[in-house]
Amino acid sequence: MRLPQEIIRDKRDGRALSPSDIAGFIDGLARERVTEGQAAAFAMAVFFRGLALDERVALTRAMTESGTVLAWDLPGPVLDKHSTGGIGDTVSLALAPMVAACGGYVPMISGRGLGHTGGTLDKLASIPGYDVAPGLDRFRAVTAEVGCAIIGQTADLAPADRRLYAIRDVTGTVESLDLITASILSKKLAAGLQGLVMDVKTGSGAFMAGHAEARALAESIVTVANAAGLRTRALITDMDAPLASAAGNAVEVAYAVDYLTGRVREPRFHAVTLALAAEMLVIGGLAADVAEAEGRLTAALDSGRACEVFSRMVASLGGPADFVEAAERQLPRAPVVRPVTAETAGFVEAVDTRAIGLAVIALGGGRTRPQDAIDAGVGFTGLVRPGDRVASGEPLGHVHAADEAAADRAAAAVRAAYRIGEARPEPRQAVMERLG
């Protein structure tokens, strides 16, 4: 292997890297022969200079092959979905059991919060006893028995990505199309999938805020994944407002439970969840078309089968057997909960969704350093969305905070994130485009 600093220098100066250079650097990263500083410099060089398609494929393969690659022998298709991240995006917790209830197998490897967005792994970690990092044998067994298992990266799967992921989070390189593509697909290829559906977000709360940027990322992922032999489709979905009316960790888990039990079915969240899950069923051969898939998924929700699968998954990974029935009592709760009131009356014209995510981090619900602990109980609930009418003094949402001072700061951030005016905005489509 060439010296890491020479590889960094080549990319910094805009030169193409060979597959052997990329493989050597990633192997060094996995084996900790490449330092954090060198990894950060490499990420920044890629961020500014970019990777050609062949470099992107080489990086994805090297990160996949840095650890174990799973193989499955199951009676149904092995499928997954991945989101590029957003606020109130707790889709995975509902989608995985819905697909499993329809005959798919979903071994979902999720990440921690990244940048201003929440992470599925952090949400699940708020469930008492839930093991987000089981061994591969347990991961395999739960997937086979229950139909789905949502965990974090183990030491065996794509270890180079796990290290680089944490570094990207705190070095301003999260938004790199090349690094996002390789990070997502290395985990999915290592999981031994037969089909993948990507949820690429666009809007004020997305990493790729513009539609053109989101489309470029979706095309990159679909192209690289299919070149690597993984059948993949992508949906571009709206993140110009929080997807769910809850943003945080425990509060989003509670929202997912309410969705699965039927207590809450907010139209926008439901539309995105149903669309992604339907594409999974079609790509896995479990439905002839999207209409048939949506019918099967709706039946799985309404009959309670999807909720039962979720409950079994939680219990099988160490969580309480009665979690669904007693989620409110068992989840962490913030000591201060109070409304964030609107100062003027009118229609919600827009929401700076990224600012909502940053406010969750400021409350303690996210990280500014890889080693930071998370306060799982903090966040927001009942967030109003564009098009809603509010009166002066009515809630824009409720803040869940560790103390009054933190609640004051969060309330100010939420008020600043909402633009209220006289005109009701035109509604945006929840699912904006399909690729692949």
Closest residue by Cα to residue 200 from 428, 435, 366: 435
Amino acid (1-letter code) at residue 212: A
Query: What are the DSSP calls for 165-201, one per residue?
Result: HHHHHTTT-TT-HHHHHHHHHHHHHHTT-SEEEEEEE
Edge-first strand listing for the sheet containing 431-435: 79-83, 195-202, 231-238, 431-435
Closest residue by Cα to residue 339 from 378, 395, 413: 395
The DSSP call for residue 84 is -
End-to-end CA distance of the chain: 37
Q: Which residues are catalytic?
A: 80-83, 120, 168, 183, 187-188
- Kindly report the number of other CB atoms within 10 A of residue 229's CB atom: 8
Looking at the chain, the number of H-run helices and the number of E-run strands are: 17, 13
Beta strands per DSSP E along 39-123: 79-83, 106-110
Residue with structure tokens 């100062």? 343
